[in-house]
Amino acid sequence: MPRPNKGTDRVLIETGKKMLLKNGINGLTISAICKRARVNPGMFVYNFKSKEEYLDRVLNEIFEEYLLPLVPEPATDSVYDNMAHVLFFLAKASAKYPALMVQVGSETLTGDKTLIHSFKERIAQKTRKIFPLFKRAQKEGLISRKIDLSLFILMTWPALIYSSASASKIMSIMPEEDKINPNLLISDEAIRERVRKLLAFFRPEFFDVL
């Protein structure tokens, strides 16, 4: 067994965080991680009992870093206004790290549920303070009772967030007359408009008939 090297676990975790955002869960093999971190594979085994334990620590740090603090306290007594307030700041927070959201969507499409499960689990943990608000919104008929909070947020974020890089790439291949400033897609006004449309979509009279 290799001798322990102080700080090796941090090097491996920081490497994993960078690789996950770039390559997704499927790109996080032990050999690839160790090669990128320039660490002997034996040190990986020394620091982590299993790859699952390693992934859990990497994902936990990602979500702690990206999702805290999630949102400021709601400012009014209106349930609708507070839901819009929460979604707006969730979108603003995650827009800083669009690569994470791209990976969530990618893992969904490829059928790998590791990241999705972790995402939903930690979303539920970090949004406990808005759970009563969400339940009130359901009770008042603003949101369908067919969805829970973690699913609601998981379905909402991709529709709220646009990265400037992705928007610029899309706009580069569009006809000149159809192009718009990519920054407009992530402006406060654009996000608020998407929030309004999403809240309308999740109303029972629309969502429940899908």
CA atoms within 13 A on the CB side of 188: 2
What global pTM score does this model have? Answer: 0.59
Q: 16 versus 129: which is more confidently predicted?
A: 16
Residue showing tokens 């029972």:
204
**∠57-51-106 over CA atoms, to 5°?**
75
Closest to 11 measured CA to CA, from 31, 48, 52, 39: 39
Residue 124 identity (one-letter amino acid) = A
25 and 100 in contact (C-beta within 8 Å)?
no
Residue-wise pLDDT for 54-66, tens only, equals 988 888 888 777 6
pLDDT at 1: 46
- Neighbouring residues of 174: CB distance < 8 A, sequence distance ≥ 6: none
Does residue 175 have a pLDDT over 80? no
Measured between alpha carbons, how far is residue 6 from residues 10, 13, 55, 120 in Å?
9, 13, 20, 33
Residue showing tokens 């620590």:
57
Domains of the chain: 8-66 (1.10.10.60), 68-207 (1.10.357)
Give the 3-state secondary structure of residue 92. helix
What distance in Å separates the CA atoms of residue 164 and residue 147, rounded to the nearest whole number? 30
